[in-house]
């Protein structure tokens, strides 16, 4: 399966992050979605909401971020 998502056009986006991270930020800029990215290579977790990206999130912190307010 394949899906094309909007990517962020933010010029300050970190160059070392790839298209998954750009798409995660882009979809959260364009919608009310929350996005989670897991690196294939390192297993590192990133979390995006409202166009903001938190990189290097622990599983415990992710659980906190996903709890309803």
What pLDDT is attached to residue 8?
94
Measure the CA–CA gap between 59 and 9, rounded to whole angstroms.
28
Measure the CA–CA gap between 64 and 12, rounded to whole angstroms.
27
What tens digit of pLDDT does each residue of 2-44 get? 888 899 999 999 988 889 999 999 999 999 999 999 988 899 9
Find out whether 61 and 32 touch, Cβ atoms under 8 Å: no
- How far CA 58 is from CA of 2, 37, 64, in Å, comes to 28, 12, 10
Q: Please give the structure tokens belonging to residue 1.
A: 């399966």
Residue 1: pLDDT above 80? no
């Amino acid at each position: 399966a394949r899906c094309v998502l909007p990517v962020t056009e933010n010029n300050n986006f970190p160059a070392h992050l790839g298209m998954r991270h750009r798409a995660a930020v882009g979809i959260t800029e364009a919608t009310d979605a929350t996005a989670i990215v897991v690196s294939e290579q390192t297993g590192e977790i990133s979390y995006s909401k409202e166009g903001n990206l938190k990189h290097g999130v622990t599983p415990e912190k992710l659980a906190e971020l996903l709890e309803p307010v």
